[in-house]
A and B are shown apart, each in its own frame.
Chain A
Amino acid sequence: MQKQSIFQSKLLPYALVAPQLAIVLIFFYWPAAQAVLQSFLLQDAFGLSTSFVWFENYVELFKDPRYFEAVVRTFVFSFAIAFSSLSFALLLAVMADKPLRGGMVYRTLLIWPYAVAPPVVGVLWIFMLHPSLGVLSRYLRDLGIDWNPLLNGDQAALLIILAAAWKQVSYNFLFFLAGLQSIPKSVIEAAAIDGARPMRRFWTVIFPLLSPTIFFLLVVNIVYAFFDTFGIIDTMTRGGPGKATETLVYKVYTDGLLGGNLGSSAAQSVILMGIVIALTAIQFRFVERKVTY
């Protein structure tokens, strides 16, 4: 049965949803429409003339090998961040799920990092791993590792992945813990009596039962790695050295705001928007259906 409210006036329901609609329109659709429009425009270097060029910005973008490098880099970053933060969070959650003395304190502490803002995360990791200031850098050098993320692109990438994954561990941990606690204890006990050792129990019973949570978190983490790592990248490496840590979102920023190429920047934004819409659609579609058991 559908819930239906009866209104006396025909206008009242519209009036009631109007504020929400206004917010959505002004803050989401209008800027989005602006971006789409902008992506069809080309400005000269001084911003004196603007011409409508249809898809030229997109064509230019797809011809640019550096754009594809950024695409590949972003995907590598996203999967590395999602995979490492998910697996580490799952490990922590499985351990925290056991009956522990002071378990509540432990769990609460594990959730704290989520409250730290991305740029602050960046600063924290800089202090630990800065080639000349960092505490950890010294140990790494003592171990004979030539640690210098300011010059070495791979190391810079690793640093970004580490910092971004670290930040996301808490969030994932929280969902995994809730997921683990929703698995009936008797199912695990039944598996124990059925002769499954702890590792086998995990992979054949617990992991499949967590699969809806895992899939949900995978999408959330990829979206996070795509977009919310901006603050971390900006404070830690500013996309450098070279372009080694320039993701799609950071490229939108450098090309548009720093490089002044608004048309290309807008085209990139529109492509990103398409990716988000696709990811969200996948999530809505599959979380309910495919990944149920």
Chain B
Amino acid sequence: MANVTLRNVHKTYPGGFEAIKGVDVDVGDGQFCVLVGPSGCGKSTLLRMVAGLETVTGGEIDIGGRVVNQIEPADRDIAMVFQNYALYPHMSVYNNMAYGLRNRGMAETEIKTRVEEAARILELAPMLERKPRQLSGGQRQRVAMGRAIVRQPKVFLFDEPLSNLDAKLRIAMRVEIRKLQRRLQTTSIYVTHDQLEAMTLADILVVMNGGRVEQIGNPLEIYQKPATTFVASFIGAPPMNLMPLRPDETKSRFAGDSRANGKAGILGIRPEDFVISHETIAGGVALDLTVEAIERVGAETFIYGARQHEEQGIAANPGDLPPGELIVRIPGAIAPAIGERIRAIAPREKLHLFSADGRTRLEA
């Protein structure tokens, strides 16, 4: 049991490439922290630095009140689950789990108790004598988990542990991991590029981009109040609709609060905050669209529409979307036909406003 604190952590490779550009994260004892971001954002590097597999070139990593920058992985009292599981192919499942305990000189009887307990929790008991190659992907994943839990370490580190599993198993294992972590109360750091995994697992969510932290907070908070346009488009699927506003537009649109500062900005509206209606909405946004594509996924439907002309002062050219395109999410499977003209409206309290560079969120 320990907290993990990263203080102004930097990583610069010998070639001069700066992978981590100053990260501060504080993970409390027993918390589940998820690092999420697109590939190449430095999340895996950061995790490997906590594990001791990459050197730290600046700042401090503190595990349980001890700065571990110069400490070997073996002595950090951590366990890691790798993306490809990294099981020892020549050892049985039992020996895979027992290996770390034997290295620490634990008595065979104690090892047996711990391995059997882990095998029981993970439903691996009938497979203890098998070799990894005789197991399915999901079983291998569980052995990798077992290897981590038998050690009873201070911290669990997960490096995209579910990305090699098929979609159904991934969801099942996601729930398993969360239950297991709640039960063991072990501080965990989990790396993923899947924002859904991040949202569902995290106590603390760290959104990373380009070696920097974009936002830290609890997942719902980040979803409701993304700090930058990057976070706004990365968290939530489909992504938030982003549209640039001219200075006069911010002024008129947000009249009456501090956001009407007369500067250019970016307006963000989540697809699910729209309602299809023929009315206009006082203080809100109403956009006229032509339906171009429809995705029905059962419980909800996504409408991809194009705005034909400037509507209520909002220029075409939204940030991440192709010019003039807008995504609207509606519940149920009843949707307008392709080519139909509809109006999507969103109330004022659902509007997000960012500075023109997308780096700052503006609050009322």
Contact = CB atoms under 8 A, between A and B. Distances in A.
Q: Chain A contact residues: over half helix, strand or loop, or mixed?
A: helix
B100 A195 contact: yes
B361 interface: no
A192 B151 CA distance: 14
Interface string B74-95: 1000111011101111100000
A184 B86 contact: yes
Contact of A196 (B80, B99, B131): B99
Interface in B69-118: 72-74, 78-80, 82-84, 86-90, 99-100, 103-104
A84 B83 CA distance: 39
A138 to B, nearest CB: 44
B51 interface: yes
A293 interface: yes
A196 B86 contact: no
A196 to B, nearest CB: 5
A193 B74 contact: yes
Contacts of A208: 90
24 contacts: A184-B84, A184-B86, A186-B82, A186-B83, A186-B86, A187-B86, A187-B89, A189-B51, A189-B86, A190-B147, A191-B99, A192-B72, A192-B73, A193-B51, A193-B74, A193-B80, A194-B147, A195-B74, A195-B100, A196-B103, A205-B88, A209-B90, A293-B89, A293-B90
A141 interface: no
Nearest to A196: B103
Contacts of B99: 191, 194, 196, 204
A200 interface: yes
Contacts of B86: 184, 186-187, 189-190
Interface in A174-231: 184, 186-187, 189-197, 200, 204-205, 208-209, 211
Nearest to A185: B86
Interface in B17-73: 51-53, 72-73
A208 B90 CA distance: 7
B268 to A, nearest CB: 39
A189 B131 CA distance: 20
A190 B103 contact: no
B100 A194 contact: yes
Interface residues of A, number: 19
Contacts of B131: 293
A195 B106 CA distance: 12
A193 B156 CA distance: 11
Contacts of A191: 88, 99
B80 A190 contact: yes
A211 to B, nearest CB: 8
Interface string B243-275: 000000000000000000000000000000000
A195 to B, nearest CB: 4
Given A192-B74, A194-B147, A197-B74, A187 B88 contact: yes
A204 B73 CA distance: 18
A195 B80 contact: no
A211 B151 CA distance: 28
Nearest to B98: A194
Contacts of B151: 194
A12 to B, nearest CB: 43
Nearest to A192: B73
Interface in A140-178: none
Nearest to A208: B90
Nearest to A201: B103
